Structure 1
Amino acid sequence: MNAGEAGRPARRGEPGEARDRGTEQWAARDVGGWLMIAAGVLVSGITALSDLRHEPFQPTTRLLNYLLSGLAVLFGLLLLRAPGKVPSWLINVLPSVAAIMVCIPTAVDRSPSPLGPLLLTWPVAFAAAVLSKRTAWITLGVVALAFGVLASAARGVDGLVLWVEVIASLAVVCWMVSRLQAQSNRLRAALASLARTDPLTELVNRRGFDEALAREHSRHVRGGPPMALLLIDIDHFKQVNDSWGHQVGDQTLRQLGALLSDGFRPMDVIGRIGGEEFGVLIPDSDPDHALARAQEICDAVRTQTRGWAHPITVSVGVAASLDTQTSPEDLFALADAGLYTAKALGRDRVGTAATQSPR
């Protein structure tokens, strides 16, 4: 994988089959919390209505329904109001615990509750929609085991028939929701990549480059290594467009993007951040290393483009962040000052904010 590919946003943080931590937290707090509250209210309401219709549940089942409903509502409220991050293990076991709670009344009165098949759909659909595919199928397995044992013990062969009907339906729900969620994730990943990719060079655009710079700065602030920023501008690019046309200008930009991609490490981030301006973010780099890499690129462009129908040179501005107080905006300003210095000294050279003579 070359540096250009590594710099593309689709390679960094692309959503996979398992959801990211931010989505898991949203699932646990909002969807999971409201799901528990809704389940508790529904079970309590149906239990109360059965009493009014003079078709009550058995006394022990009625008590368990109200008790578990209260616990579900309380747990849902705690999730919604949790002050910190909810542990990942709790998020993953939440649907399985909910399924077991649904089966508890059945275990007590040894007759499958009419609420069971309906409520068991909720934890399976929840896991398939907002958690990983693996968690969804584990939840279905827990549901199949718990409901199968209870239905068989309570109703024998009739219970097994009910189990087959319920689990087959839940398996179809799990498969369909997981497929839809996977397609949605792929679409979101593609849209996120398009939003951060320059269509001409297929490098990251300014938005994606700023995000990478912010991530690397955060790592630096947390004790990570220093970083460097190069701003690379094509000298007299307007002459390329005026002399050979904009199609040749676009080809020049694509070729330079490929040349830069081949000249840096996979860990470096390369982007087209302006019309004829490129940026290179070099993690784990001190000023001397950054200056050396900038000079190498400047020399490589000068020599390797001589065979092009439209040879070019570049000016490079260099800035390095050794101090955690240097913000991404400060780093950009320093590199831009270096680029201005390089152009003021005659172009086709490397400059820094402190450059006093041609390099």
Structure 2
Amino acid sequence: MTELRTANASAPEALADGSGGADSRQWAVKNVGGGLMIAASALVVLITVLYDVRGEPFPALTRHVNFGLSACVAALGIYLLRTRRRLPGWLANSMPSTAAILICLPTSMDESPDELGPLLLTWPVTFSAAVLTARVAWVTAGIAALVFAALASLNRGVDGVVLWIEASASLVVVCWMVVRVQGQALRLREALARLARTDALTGLTNRRGFDEALAREHARRGRGGPPWAVLLVDIDHFKLVNDSWGHQAGDETLRRLGALLYSSFRATDLVGRIGGEEFAVLLADCGPEDAAAQAHGLCETVRTHARDWEHPITVSVGAATDPGPVGNGSSPTELMAEADTALYAAKAAGRDQAVARV
């Protein structure tokens, strides 16, 4: 199977759109606050130590403006570290560009070009690429380059143009490198997340991924969503397949059954392999009668298709539905237990059949 029908959303940009969970959003706010505190502290150190050591102290006006900006940045950082509120997306996305503009202002007041301004401009760009999105990072880099170009050319002439070229090149390189690294890290995290929720043999969702989907569907039902159902599917006498033809034949049978189940349900449903020869199907927006009909139909589908396989099989199916009042329905654990009870009833009744509990 090349694709899984899952309800998992892609990794959210917790700061940019606020779609992440509460923990992710809170972590993002704290991350911003800590970054601002580090930036303010580093700026103070650069102003008070670096240039004095070099014997090139800041002009008084530039020094005072930078100290004032550092105090404002530190105050905002302290607020974000202490608050429990989620940072609005528009504010998070606009902060790096605003910081870049503020960095350009005191730099333009100095009549002789220096390297501190371009160095500081890399901070908001790096922050945008690492914490927000690539789009915000490139917008920040573009705004920083434009503002720096205007101020440098007005106040420093040819030297300002040269400094702008150096600063713009640095911003582009830094932005490209951080965005590229973040993109690779995101793709790796997504791949690992898929592997952690995928059964290696069949390509279906594994028990972990299926349990997470159950929890999401239960929460959706609690918010007033439609009823939902679970089917548990077990291969009849599967041990005979392994004992008679070997485990390779058993693996092939599991793969073929997984593909058959996958193609037998809607795109909104979720099929998973949750045990050795046991599969499960989460039926979204499914009432009791529909769940029972699908369970019986599945037995017939497997019986019809598998009779032509090299190692024919049949399945037993247990179905359980949660049609109860919103807030009073079965939990995922209870619903799985009811489906399991129905499955054992189907096996006790002779196998190759379905039993539904509502």
Q: What is the TM-score when the length of structure 1 is the normalising length? A: 0.90
Contact 1:230 1:281 in 2 (8 A): yes
Contact 1:28 1:91 in 2 (8 A): no
Residue 342 (structure 1) shift: 1.0
Q: Which runs of 5+ in 2 are unaligned?
A: none
Match of 2:347 among 334, 343, 347: 343
Contact 1:27 1:130 in 2 (8 A): no
Change (3 A) 1:218 1:195: same
Aligned counterpart, 2:307: 306
Q: Which runs of 5+ in 1 are unaligned?
A: 355-359
Which amino acid is 1:12 matched to?
N
Contact 1:205 1:272 in 2 (8 A): yes
Residue 162 (structure 1) shift: 0.5
Change (3 A) 1:51 1:305: closer
Contact 1:341 1:353 in 2 (8 A): no
Quote the Cα distance in structure 1 between the aligned partners of 2:82 and 2:12.
Answer: 28
Change (3 A) 1:344 1:118: same
Residue 64 (structure 1) shift: 1.5
Change (3 A) 1:90 1:144: same
Match of 1:329 among 327, 333, 336: 333
Residue 322 (structure 1) shift: 2.0
Deviations 1:56-111 (A, max 9, x none): 43333222112111110111122222212211222211211211121221355566
Contact 2:4 2:205 in 1 (8 A): no
CA RMSD of aligned residues (A): 2.4
| 4+ residue runs over 6 A deviation | 16-20, 51-54
Which amino acid is 1:291 matched to?
A
Contact 1:36 1:73 in 2 (8 A): yes
Aligned counterpart, 1:357: none
Which amino acid is 1:341 matched to?
A
Quote the Cα distance in structure 2 between the aligned partners of 1:102 and 1:77.
Answer: 20
Aligned counterpart, 2:33: 33
SS at match of 1:116: helix
SS at match of 1:225: coil
**Deviating more after overlay: 225-234 vs 321-330:** 321-330
Contact 2:47 2:58 in 1 (8 A): yes
Change (3 A) 1:56 1:329: same
**Deviating more after overlay: 271-280 vs 116-125:** 116-125
After the TM superposition, which residues 253-332 of structure 1 pair with which residues of structure 2 at under 5 Å, given as runs?
253-323=254-324, 324-325=327-328, 326-332=330-336
Residue 290 (structure 1) shift: 0.7
SS at match of 1:5: coil
SS at match of 2:65: helix
Which amino acid is 1:350 matched to?
A
After the TM superposition, which residues 12-161 of structure 1 pair with which residues of structure 2 at under 5 Å, given as runs?
12-15=8-11, 21-22=19-20, 25=25, 28-49=28-49, 55-108=56-109, 114-161=115-162
After the TM superposition, which residues 203-242 of structure 1 pair with which residues of structure 2 at under 5 Å, given as runs?
203-242=204-243
Residue 183 (structure 1) shift: 1.1
- Count of residue pairs brought into register by the alignment: 350
Change (3 A) 1:146 1:85: same
